[in-house]
Amino acid sequence: MSKRTRASPASQGLDDLTARFSQLAGLQQRVAELHRRVERVFELRAARDNSSESDHLSGQCAVLLSLLKTIAHTDSCAQTASLIRLAHTKCDFIYATLQRPSLSASPLIMLPESCFSDHICPLIGTRSTLTDLAPSYPSLHTISRKPTTHKMLHLGTDSARVIEMTQRQVAVWGAAFSKAKRAFMECAPSTGVVELLERASISLEELEAWSDGESVAHRLEPKPREGRGEIVFPVLTRVKLAGWWIRVADNRRWMPTSLVDVHLRDMVVQNDDVGAWDEPEKCSGQHSSSCKSWLAGTGPHRVVLEVAPDEDGRELAWQLEDLRSLVKPSIKQLKGVRCRPGVHSTRQELARVANVTLQLEELGVDTNEDDE
């Protein structure tokens, strides 16, 4: 009897220890559960853009972090359990706030689609529209893929740069640009970029495309198009082209049928193999043979020709003999031709040009004697 009496305090102590252990084990489980819950809440907050409620959420998250710090330094199990319940309540509130749709939408998505096509897209450029603006919001991504958004196709900021494009990019972007009316290309005429323009052949009305002397020196021009038949540009009325761009129409078999205004800026190809007395190679080809497709339709009525200064800074111009492939009865205004008076070959070329029936209203010819 006395043995059982002496054993009772020990048994009681063990029972108390077991209860304490169970209490701590349960508390540990609840702390682990709270840990996982807090991690999920903060991950959701990082992934969700709730700019309109950021200040309010920041305050609630600060309270939650304060509770976690208090729990970590509390010895009382009862107080710890109470704080854990409060922390779960705070997690519920933050989670519900994050799941709630934002009360104030982004100002951009409130704008009419015409704002993007008429103002925003031309201002920031086509590439920025598709790679920076479109991913910022689902509705903007949808708008960026609509052909009606891209009335203006604007690519490049460096006329010497080559924009390389994969066939998949051409397919995706080409569909978005299929109704473009104007195109401004400040880059070399790589094959992918030219193929993008061809996707807009039915709707394109104006084309301005410039490449500089560096791209000319490296002979950056698109590869010839395979297959038969021409690509018709039925409503293209104005082109302003420089460098290798002036031979794209011949190279790719384009047929602009409605051109009215043509501006061609030729460039001399820098070639170390050309002798001092040899005629320098130009992007337009021999006697302008590589750019004649721009004048193959019923028009144009106005033609402006110029040549970029050579590497020595000398001002150049299209010679009279270059007009073999260019002059036609439809031309009313012709500017940028240089004539060297007294040269026998020039007189012959002049006679050939005179055989073409012209109805010129304005003719700009430079008769600089220095060229003799």
On the question of pLDDT at 369 being above 60, the answer is no
Which span out of 74-88, 308-322, 340-354 was modeled with the highest average pLDDT?
74-88
pLDDT tens for 207-229 read: 999 877 555 555 666 777 777 78
Beta bridge partners of 263: 240, 304
Do β-strands 206-210 and 318-319 pair in parallel, antiparallel, or remain unpaired? unpaired
pLDDT for residue 238: 95
The pLDDT of residue 256: 92
Average pLDDT over residues 271-292: 68
Per-residue confidence (pLDDT) for residue 337, from 0 to 100 = 76
Over residues 70-75, the mean pLDDT reads 85
Q: In the prediction, which pLDDT does 167 show?
A: 87
Report which of residues 21 and 34 the model is more confident about: 34
Pick 329 or 348 by higher pLDDT.
Answer: 329
State the pLDDT at residue 255: 92
Mean pLDDT of 139-156: 82
With 90 as the cut, is the pLDDT of residue 205 above it?
yes
Percent of the chain with pLDDT over 70: 75
Residue 197's pLDDT is 93
CA distance 213 to 223: 19
Residue 277's pLDDT is what? 46
- pTM for this predicted structure: 0.63
pLDDT band of residue 48 (cuts 50, 70, 90) is low
More confident residue, 361 or 106: 361
Confidence of residue 351 (pLDDT cuts 50, 70, 90): low
Confidence of residue 1 (pLDDT cuts 50, 70, 90): very low
Q: In this model, does residue 371 exceed pLDDT 50?
A: no
pLDDT at 353: 59
Which residue, 273, 345, 266, is CA-closest to 309? 266
Closest CA to 151 of 191, 172, 179, 187: 179
| Cβ burial, residue 76 (10 Å; 0-12/13-18/19+) | exposed
109 pLDDT higher than 70: yes
Burial zone of 16 (CB within 10 Å; 0-12 exposed, 13-18 middle, 19+ buried): exposed
Q: Which residue has the higher pLDDT, 88 or 326?
A: 88
**Most trustworthy range by pLDDT among 103-107, 207-211, 320-324:** 207-211
Q: 199 burial class (0-12, 13-18, 19+ CB within 10 angstroms)?
A: buried
Residue 31 clears pLDDT 80, i.e. is over it: yes
Distances (CA, A) of 96 to 51, 67, 101: 16, 19, 10
* Whether the predicted pLDDT of 276 surpasses 60: no
